[in-house]
């Protein structure tokens, strides 16, 4: 059965502006899951006390820009703003492993709030990791310092996929509690929830660790497409449930991160990856929160990434925003795309770059300033504060 949100024909989509035809034929052949069915059958508005529903964040600069309106000030936030470059983050993380810090609600909330206090950014991004759904499902995974996510056992065969444990709604309670604690302190500042896109998550699972070229998953797509589809669907449901837990608990928007999609050509992305990304988002479309899709090295995939069904497209630093807007037909708000490398450049160079990014984004229906990737760990946090002050000093058009 195809979930109602992606059934071919006239579409009634409440959580996103776009869910277009090119991927529907591929989605049609996917196997449904109880998780997707549960998400769709539970369709309905967010709770009355949710920040989007009770007036706290619906008119915030961020949400207004995501919805294509004119914000009261230019919204700006930074990917990986929570952690990495902040001394207060390093202090609270002392002696605590990365994944453990994500699963301690009070600590995760504190880390999420730190950059909002310091920089006056227009959004908090939930502090967690894309492999947290794996860990909560019972998959052996850890973040190895200097390496990244490492699995106890790679997932490479049909038997491996069949043996994967299923993530339960109850296991996500630490995530919901961390979001509730965070939102209680944020007031009118929106929280953005996030999840790893299925391809990036599955790429880690197949390789068992980070990879430069992602040959394992790219080979599996063609050599064993049934196993690939089963794995991508598992990852989609895990990420979708993870994102839904954050949104229902109080996040005002959701972002799907596809860090490794840039390793794919358009044909492979459309056939083997887009259906799973759409499936992940099927878990949250009915909630009505703005949805953002971001990937690195994905300039040639932007239209396909939009077409999985999102409201906003994130653009990395490789493509000017005016060109991204042209490729997307001028119909979708954009997010990005300050080059992180320039955060360590002289201020006059960085300022000119930020102003150029703002000018390039002016042609889009909406624009949220962000980096074209994450904050480098060596970044001076006072530079980020200065960038925020600059962005806020420039009146929205």
Verify whether residue 56 is a known catalytic residue. Answer: no
Angle between helices 215-223 and 225-249 (to 10 degrees): 120
Asked if residue 260 lies in contact with residue 199, where contact means CB atoms within 8 angstroms, the answer is: yes
Nearest to 245 by CA among 167, 155, 187: 167
From the candidates 17, 56, 74, 129, which is the catalytic residue?
129
Tokens, residue 56: 């706290």
Residue in this structure with the two tokens 């201020």, named with its chain if needed: 347
Asked if residue 116 lies in contact with residue 124, where contact means CB atoms within 8 angstroms, the answer is: yes
- Ordered DSSP codes for 346-373: -HHHHHHHHHHHHHHHTTSS-EEB-BSS
Verify whether residue 306 is a known catalytic residue. Answer: no
From the candidates 73, 93, 318, 386, which is the catalytic residue?
93
From the candidates 18, 204, 269, 317, which is the catalytic residue?
204
From the candidates 84, 104, 327, 386, which is the catalytic residue?
84
From the candidates 56, 74, 80, 306, which is the catalytic residue?
80
CB atoms within 10 A of CB 88: 15
Verify whether residue 327 is a known catalytic residue. Answer: no
98 Cα distance to chain centroid: 19
Nearest to 65 by CA among 333, 269, 341, 390: 333
Buried b (16+ CB within 10 A) or exposed e, 178-192: bbebbbeebeebbbb
Verify whether residue 204 is a known catalytic residue. Answer: yes
Verify whether residue 84 is a known catalytic residue. Answer: yes
Tokens, residue 333: 């708000």
Helix (H, G, I), strand (E, B) or coil at 255: strand
Just list the catalytic residues: 80, 84, 93, 129, 204
């Amino acid at each position: 059965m195809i979930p109602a949100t992606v059934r071919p024909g006239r579409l009634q989509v409440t959580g996103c502006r776009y869910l277009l035809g090119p991927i529907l034929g591929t989605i049609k052949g996917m196997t449904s899951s109880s998780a997707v069915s549960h998400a769709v059958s539970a369709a309905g508005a967010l709770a009355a006390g949710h920040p989007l529903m009770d007036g706290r964040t619906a008119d915030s600069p961020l949400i207004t820009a995501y919805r294509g309106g004119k914000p009261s000030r230019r919204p700006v936030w930074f990917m990986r703003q929570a952690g990495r470059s902040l001394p207060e983050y390093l202090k609270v993380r002392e002696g605590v492993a990365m994944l453990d810090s994500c699963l301690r609600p009070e600590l995760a909330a504190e880390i999420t709030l730190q950059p909002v206090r310091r920089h006056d950014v227009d959004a908090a991004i939930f502090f967690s990791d894309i492999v947290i759904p794996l860990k909560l499902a019972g998959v052996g995974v850890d973040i190895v310092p200097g390496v990244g996510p490492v699995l106890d056992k790679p997932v490479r065969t049909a038997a491996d996929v069949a043996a994967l444990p299923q993530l339960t709604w109850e296991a996500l309670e630490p995530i919901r509690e961390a979001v509730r604690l965070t939102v209680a302190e944020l007031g009118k500042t929106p929280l953005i929830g996030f999840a790893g896109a299925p391809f990036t998550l599955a790429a880690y699972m197949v390789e068992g660790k980070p990879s430069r070229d992602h040959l394992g998953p790219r080979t599996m797509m063609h050599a064993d497409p049934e196993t690939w589809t089963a794995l991508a669907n598992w990852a989609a449901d895990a990420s979708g449930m993870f994102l839904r837990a954050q949104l229902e608990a109080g996040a005002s928007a959701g972002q799907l991160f596809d860090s490794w999609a840039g390793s794919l050509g358009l044909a492979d992305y459309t056939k083997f990856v887009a259906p799973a990304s759409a499936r992940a988002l099927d878990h949250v479309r009915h909630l009505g929160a703005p949805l953002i899709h971001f990937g690195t090295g994905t300039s040639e995939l932007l239209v396909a990434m939009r077409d999985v069904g999102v409201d906003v497209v994130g653009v990395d630093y490789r493509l000017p925003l005016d060109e991204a807007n042209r490729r997307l037909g001028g119909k979708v708000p954009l997010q990005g795309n300050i080059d992180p490398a320039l955060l360590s450049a002289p201020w006059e160079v960085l300022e000119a770059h930020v102003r150029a990014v703002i000018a390039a984004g002016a042609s889009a229906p909406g624009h949220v300033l962000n980096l074209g990737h994450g904050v480098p760990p060596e970044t001076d946090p006072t530079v980020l504060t200065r960038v925020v002050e600059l962005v806020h000093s420039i009146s929205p058009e």
